[in-house]
Structure 1
């Protein structure tokens, strides 16, 4: 009898162990962007899920405990996954972040992440970066304290709590570094911009000196730069909105020499407007070095006298750029 009981217990324990080696993820998505979901860890896809006949998603798989991203082909959502979870997500893809909700085992952690994403979207990081040193220090300390307090008040998994605390520390540190960099960029404000002499897509060369008499909005970009390309539609709208005004929109490509023809083709095929220039061998010209350009896209606004208005100007997609230009040009 003991042997039979022992055998049954062994089977039950083994079955329980197997069940805990996987997790289940389900999703019901209204107005979905496609019939496929992927769960990613950085650039690696660890699970692909296809919609069933009813348009819903379900998969059972093994996972290493940790933070992941759910990608629907258009947008991302953060997930915390581990084996043993039985997680169900509902969402309306037209209001992606605002409607994500989880139920089932693991829902506490994932609802917390969803709410955290919404809260972070309300933070005016750009406004913080425009504060003076004392104001920025106070704002960043308050933000850190608020986020840590929210974590400590939560009832999330201890491992996730530890991950998010470390992540908060790292994010605040990166924000402080970015603020230091933004201060360095601003040192060019209100001084004369160095001249440049770059190849023009339409032929010949164009200098900054030749553009005096007009405001000049410079876009430093490259064909390989995703964030740069993402700004192109907004830049086109900006050019159209200020057509005929006293401003030139100047895009300067910093593509490598091997991509010179690629740049020329890209400009033509994408029908890029404004003044399209190529820095080429002069990419490290006095102009670029003076502004300490270490990342792109980078935008610079110069006045009709050649004086720098903003060495780290707003992106075309930022509504505040149009507000600024309206004040200057109207």
Structure 2
């Protein structure tokens, strides 16, 4: 059983407050983002009425501060390769926190986050945090992913899962981009973490910065 230390308690309390205050606004803005950015409609159809109903149902629910659990959920293991073919397992990141970005090259909102992800990695380069991006592109689109990683000089650890891998299923990814925070032991701390970019301001997400600062 994993027992929470004071730092983890602070992080969870902070994120609960963030959810309580920002849930409806964030969901609505995220919906608008998907409306205005093309995410390759042949790949992913967005039913507007269904999305609106989903947003309303989530936003109307109260977001009370949840009780701190007695133990954390172990993150599913994985073995994925980077752009050079080097394989990374979940255990390779043990000893540091992990801020994970689940994305794809065809996703407009995902690509908008790239420069902000790079800025965060630069800002927290000396902190005990791994910045890991995992692509869910189709295997046949792997060359597109490789080109984008190189052209954008994407920092952190860039991994390719593809749709054929069980990664998306194991981590219960329902939409992208999705951001996840793992603790130093590979447990899931926050399964829907704040994005690098604040959807309200178009700037670096200060809520996320505050969370990452606690991890230093």
Q: Which of residues 45, 57, 79 is equivalent to 1:176?
A: 57
1:4-42: CA deviations, max 9, x gaps? Answer: xxxxxxxxxxxxxxxxxxxxxxxxxxxxxxxxxxxxxxx
**Mapped pair 1:244 → 2:126:** yes
Higher fraction of strand? 1
Hey, what does 1:129 align to over in structure 2?
Answer: 23
Q: Is the 8 A contact 2:80 2:89 kept in 1?
A: yes
Q: Which structure has the larger Rg?
A: 1
* Structure 1 position 300, deviation (Å): 0.3
Aligned-partner Cα distance in 1 for 2:55–2:163: 32
Q: 2:171 aligns with which of 279, 285, 291?
A: 291
The 2-side partners of 1:179 and 1:205 are apart by 43
Select 1:308's aligned residue among 188, 193, 196: 188
CA RMSD of aligned residues (A): 2.8
State the partner residue of 1:258.
140
Match runs of 1:1-330 below 5 Å: 127=21, 129=23, 171=52, 174-177=55-58, 190-280=72-162, 282-285=164-167, 288-317=168-197, 318-329=205-216
Shift of 1:178: 6.4
Could you tell me which runs of 5 or more consecutive residues in structure 1 were left unpaired when the two chains were aligned. 1-123, 131-169, 183-187
Change (3 A) 1:262 1:175: same
1:250 alignment partner, SS class:
strand
TM score, norm. by length of structure 1? 0.44
Q: 1:328, CA displacement in angstroms? A: 1.5
Quickly say closer, same or farther: Cα 1:194–1:125, change in 2 above 3 A.
closer
Distance in 1 (alpha carbons) for counterparts of 2:163 and 2:112: 25
TM-score (norm 2): 0.66
Unpaired runs of 5+ residues, structure 2, are: 1-17, 25-50, 64-68, 198-204
Q: Which runs of 4+ in 1 moved over 6 A?
A: none
